[in-house]
Chain A
């Protein structure tokens, strides 16, 4: 269970939140100008980062507000929480490299 610090409400259990996928995926300036391939990439293609990953979360059963989180996809460590519209903070270089142990469940 993650303990997530909502920018409005403070620390709450992960069960109060929903995940919203990768952050900072900008809506195309002119969607009509996109080819099918570009549109498909906008809709469905996301990074599969090992390490620090910027993602969106919503505090569903609390304030119902969206926010961004920088989370390590290996250690689950929450490195930063910041508001929608704010730029991604510099990822902490530690955690992104030198992972030698397998995360729980990764052996399946």
Chain B
């Protein structure tokens, strides 16, 4: 009963939330070139930071909740909507839909916390730490290549890979979710900067190509 009331209260507050790049939604829409490159924010994804030795007992338990924990740099584990990204040898980022957050009726964070138990490690709710940008289209890679030093050619950077790196001089986790689709995770305070930076980088593709 009390839980239901608490949930109703939280849901009442949801309308007042502003995502880190909500003020750029119009700019993203105006700067997108359908069929060539589009940019949008996917706000409020649930994110959980995990620090654990993945081969330990706690690591095994956490992996069973998260649908796996990646073993190497670039690897992404998970099936469907809950995924684990490799951030370091013992550091991972779980990315899941908003609804999986405990405050919205889900149980992701509680389940992960219970899986860690009293063992060595961390489970931290980082849902408000980063927002998500989705950059997609035939020119998405070209937009990123202007300010990311990684080799983004598909022979090297394959769909299903995520790397922590720098884009536009700021730290960003870059996840290639499809052949022409990238998800970028900037920290909330960098969302405005990175959003404007990407819109700027997309601008040339709105004009006809100069032969």
Name which residue of chain B comes closest to A7, CB basis: B89
**Which residues on B sit within 8 Å (CB–CB) of A38?**
none
**Which residues on B sit within 8 Å (CB–CB) of A12?**
149-150, 165
Please, how many residues of chain A have a CB less than 8 angstroms from a CB on the other chain?
A: 13
Decide yes or no whether A93 CB sits under 8 A from chain B: no
Selected from A8, A62, A65, the residue in CB contact (under 8 A) with B165 is: A62
The contact size tier of chain B is 10 to 19
**Alpha-carbon separation in the docked complex, A16 to B164 (Å):** 10
In the complex where A8-B73, A9-B73, A63-B73 touch, is A16 in contact with B88 (Cβ < 8 A)? no
CB distance from B115 to the nearest CB of A (A): 23
One digit per residue, 1 when the CB lies within 8 angstroms of any chain B CB and 0 when it does not, for chain A 43-82 equals: 0000000000000000011111100000000000000000
Is A61 a contact partner of B89 (Cβ separation < 8 A)? no
**Which residues on B sit within 8 Å (CB–CB) of A13?**
149, 166
**Which residues on A sit within 8 Å (CB–CB) of B47?**
none
**Alpha-carbon separation in the docked complex, A65 to B73 (Å):** 12
**Alpha-carbon separation in the docked complex, A29 to B150 (Å):** 42
**Alpha-carbon separation in the docked complex, A15 to B169 (Å):** 8
One digit per residue, 1 when the CB lies within 8 angstroms of any chain A CB and 0 when it does not, for chain B 30-48 equals: 0000000000000000000
**Alpha-carbon separation in the docked complex, A64 to B90 (Å):** 10
Is A8 a contact partner of B149 (Cβ separation < 8 A)? no
Is A15 a contact partner of B88 (Cβ separation < 8 A)? no
**Which residues on B sit within 8 Å (CB–CB) of A63?**
73, 87-89, 91, 164
Q: Main SS of chain B's interface residues?
A: strand
Q: Main SS of chain A's interface residues?
A: loop
Is B165 a contact partner of A61 (Cβ separation < 8 A)? yes
Name which residue of chain A comes closest to B172, CB basis: A61
In the complex where A12-B149, A16-B166 touch, is A61 in contact with B73 (Cβ < 8 A)? no
Is A8 a contact partner of B164 (Cβ separation < 8 A)? no
In the complex where A8-B73, A10-B73, A13-B149 touch, is A64 in contact with B166 (Cβ < 8 A)? no
Decide yes or no whether B163 CB sits under 8 A from chain A: yes
Question: Which of B91, B149, B163, B169 lies at the interface centre, i.e. has the most chain A CB atoms within 10 A of its CB?
Answer: B149
Name which residue of chain A comes closest to B86, CB basis: A63
Is B166 a contact partner of A8 (Cβ separation < 8 A)? no
Decide yes or no whether B117 CB sits under 8 A from chain A: no
In the complex where A8-B73, A15-B166 touch, is A64 in contact with B91 (Cβ < 8 A)? yes
B residues engaging A (CB < 8 A)? 73, 87-89, 91, 149-150, 163-166, 169, 171
A residues engaging B (CB < 8 A)? 8-10, 12-13, 15-16, 60-65
